[in-house]
Copies of this chain bind each other. A is one copy, B any other.
Amino acid sequence: MNYTFSDKMEALQPSAIREILKATADPKIISFAAGNPAPEAFPCEAIEKITAEILTKNPIGALQYSISEGYPPLRDALRELCRTRYGVIGENDDLIIVSGAQQGIDLVCKCLCNEGDTIIVEAPSFVGALNTMRSYNANLVGVEMDDDGINIEKLEEALKTSPNVKLMYLIPNFQNPSGITMSYEKRKAVYELAKQYGVIILEDNPYGDLRFRGETIPSIKTLDTDGLVVYCGSFSKVLSPGLRVGYLVADKGLMGKIVVAKQCTDVHTTILSQMICERFLAEYDFEEHVQGLRDIYRKKCALMISEIDQNFSPNVAHTDPDGGLFLWCTLPEGSDMPGFCKRAVEHGVAMVPGNAFTAKASDPTFSFRMNFSTPTDEKIVEGCRILGQLTKEMF
Contact = CB atoms under 8 A, between A and B. Distances in A.
A243 interface: yes
A263 interface: yes
A62 interface: yes
Contact of A266 (B5, B55, B106): B106
Interface in A100-117: 100, 102-103, 106, 110-115, 117
A265 B261 CA distance: 12
A139 interface: no
B14 A263 contact: yes
30 contacts: A1-B253, A3-B112, A3-B200, A3-B253, A4-B166, A5-B111, A5-B257, A6-B110, A6-B117, A8-B114, A9-B110, A22-B67, A39-B60, A39-B64, A42-B63, A48-B52, A51-B51, A63-B240, A63-B241, A64-B242, A102-B267, A106-B265, A131-B264, A132-B264, A132-B265, A244-B268, A270-B270, A272-B272, A272-B273, A273-B273
Contact of A243 (B9, B63, B117): B63
A271 interface: yes
B242 A266 contact: no
Nearest to A236: B65
A330 interface: no
B251 A1 contact: yes
A52 B14 CA distance: 34
Interface string A13-45: 111001000100000000000111101001010
Nearest to A102: B267
Interface residues of A, number: 83
A304 B28 CA distance: 62
Interface in A67-106: 67-68, 99-100, 102-103, 106
A100 B18 contact: no
Contacts of A55: 44, 47-48, 51-52
Most buried by B among A13, A62, A131: A62
B59 A47 contact: yes
Interface string A220-238: 0000001110000000100
A135 to B, nearest CB: 4
Nearest to A112: B6
The oligomer's copy count stands at: 2
Given A5-B112, A65-B242, A13 B271 contact: no
A125 interface: no
A62 to B, nearest CB: 6
B65 A241 contact: yes
A60 B15 CA distance: 23
A227 B6 contact: no
A191 to B, nearest CB: 13
Given A37-B64, A42-B63, A106-B264, 9 more contacts: A1-B228, A5-B112, A6-B117, A13-B260, A44-B60, A64-B241, A102-B266, A242-B270, A242-B272
A269 interface: yes
A95 to B, nearest CB: 17
A13 B55 CA distance: 34
A128 to B, nearest CB: 7
A47 B54 CA distance: 11
A7 B226 CA distance: 23
A66 interface: yes
Contacts of A259: 14
A59 B37 contact: no
A114 B136 CA distance: 10
